[in-house]
Chains A and B, each alone.
Chain A
Amino acid sequence: MSTVTLRIWRGTEDEGSFEEYSIERNPGMVVLDAVHKVQAEQAPDLACRWNCKAGKCGSCSAEINGMPKLMCMTRLDDLPEDKPIMVQPLKTFRTIKDLVTDVSWNYAVKKKIKPFKPRKPDAPDGTWRMKQVDVERVQEFRKCIECFLCQDVCHVLRDHEKYDEFIGPRFLIYTAGLEMNPLDTEDRISDLKKRDGIGYCNITKCCTVVCPEHIKITDNGIIPMKERVVDEFYDPLTRLFRIFKPSKKSKAEESS
């Protein structure tokens, strides 16, 4: 039976170091199994967050060999065997202990986004009717498991620390999902430009690369929202045409 060496961050944000652990390697092992084995056999005080072990709860996010990944979905077979495997907490968020980070900033950001505001119900029983073709586009964004790997890798947060001016890819697609929803009557385009800092995204697509749900964050979410911002703020022609057409906001006011 071969062994595998893990180099795991032990400590908090302010102090700590990478510690090496060698464990027995089992067939089909994922990084989370290896971390659990370290926990069980050598370091019972090693902190890590996990829940489903199936890539669906988004709890076990970490940086494995420098790339943001879900520990439960990263097989040891797919990593180079000759070097120790580096496992460290998400760099973009404050490390509480070992592999556990404080991601509460994300929840605070989500609260700021204007919630879903549906039009008047279509039926007397207070329900709506929608065609499948109209929901398909927003369904992609609903696959998000809030693992925040995209937030971690995005250089606007990771390197430039624009926590106050930029909401990050996760919440750009959350907003896109609301904006593209045919039932929704709220207008978030101005927020996207001014408060949420969509212009900070320079479409370098790292968020799309790391997303475990394979959501095309940049192409299907962020760029379409950038285009809507252009319609609203930068394109003189669409602005001119809008004089003759009611905006989403005024339609919403009418319907309510």
Chain B
Amino acid sequence: MARQDIPLEQVSVGVTARKDNWWIKPLLVFLGFSTFIVYSTWAAFQNADYFFNGNGAQYLSPFYSPLLYGQADAHPVFGTEHPAWWPGWLPFSPALLILWAPGGFRFTCYYYRGAYYKSFWLDPPACAVGEPRKGYRGEQKLPLILQNIHRYFLYVALLFIVILTYDAVISFIFVNPDGTKSFGIGIGSFVITINVILLSGYTLGCHSFRHMVGGKLDCFSKNPVRAKSWECVTCLNSKHMTWAWFSLFWVGFTDLYVRLCAAGIWTDWRIL
């Protein structure tokens, strides 16, 4: 039933009768995401200062974890030389081998999608505010139909949580001058542990995860374990946006912390 008549008010981009400062939120989101993208891209290409072992600590930047190829003292999985197939025109960095996973996970996250469609693509710029383009394919057709791949990124993201938990545990183990290892606590141990907590809160509150653990069922009473899991994920999911922002900020900060310690600009205080 197509609408025959012209609308009451033809809108074009930014046109609205709204009287509040509707543009502030999308602008802040735009600035927040842009800052993170610029910083993380820069950090990913550095291929240096991603591991701090100054005071016996073993802090690995989350942008470089798991470390597939890299400096020997950071215990790379495959070796110190970068892979032979790496294209010559592209500067090598081990971060580039792994960042597609968390990057893809966030890019296809339901929260982020909604947020960047608004802030970057103005589709719509804000609720009840006019848009720049008339044509619209949404996620119904290519290319955005590919966003439906999100659950596959989730599987990889869950694996990353295990790896980052391992890094957090290692951040409490310090190498003594005689080569033995002992339990210790540095400020960095907290930074790295908070990072994995925030990333877990974000990942385990994922909408696809919520669907997977129990959301797909209609009858909860027949599956009490899945019903309980669904409830727990729902609890995290209701604050998914908050988890998304805090974990985004903190993962960047964790890299910065390790980087500045490794570069000798910051000192990692040892508490124990």
Contact = CB atoms under 8 A, between A and B. Distances in A.
Given A199-B138, A200-B139, 8 more contacts: A13-B5, A14-B6, A65-B19, A134-B220, A159-B11, A199-B140, A205-B114, A227-B216
A133 B227 contact: yes
Contacts of B141: 199
Contacts of A134: 218-221
B201 interface: no
B139 A164 contact: no
Nearest to B12: A159
B8 A227 contact: no
A159 B7 CA distance: 10
A160 B128 contact: no
A105 interface: yes
A15 to B, nearest CB: 10
B207 A14 contact: no
Interface string B23-45: 00000000000000000000000
Nearest to A64: B17
A204 B11 CA distance: 19
A156 B123 CA distance: 9
25 contacts: A13-B6, A13-B8, A16-B8, A66-B17, A67-B127, A89-B8, A91-B7, A91-B8, A91-B9, A137-B220, A155-B124, A159-B131, A160-B135, A180-B218, A181-B218, A197-B138, A197-B140, A199-B139, A200-B136, A200-B139, A202-B139, A227-B151, A227-B208, A227-B211, A227-B215
Contact of A230 (B19, B151, B238): B151
Contact of A224 (B1, B5, B215): B215
B131 A200 contact: no
Interface in B118-156: 118, 123-124, 127-128, 130-131, 134-136, 138-141, 144-145, 148-149, 151
A64 to B, nearest CB: 9
Contacts of B148: 226, 229-230, 234-235
A88 interface: yes
Contacts of A163: 1-3
A122 B240 CA distance: 39
B16 interface: yes
A52 interface: no
8 closest residue pairs by CB, A with B: A199-B140, A66-B17, A66-B18, A206-B127, A227-B211, A200-B138, A160-B136, A131-B221
B270 interface: no
Contacts of B247: none
Interface residues of A, number: 63
Interface in A140-178: 153, 155-156, 158-165
Nearest to B218: A182
A66 B16 contact: yes
B140 to A, nearest CB: 3
B117 A94 contact: no
B263 to A, nearest CB: 40
B82 interface: no
Nearest to B219: A182
B75 interface: no
B181 interface: no
B1 A86 contact: no
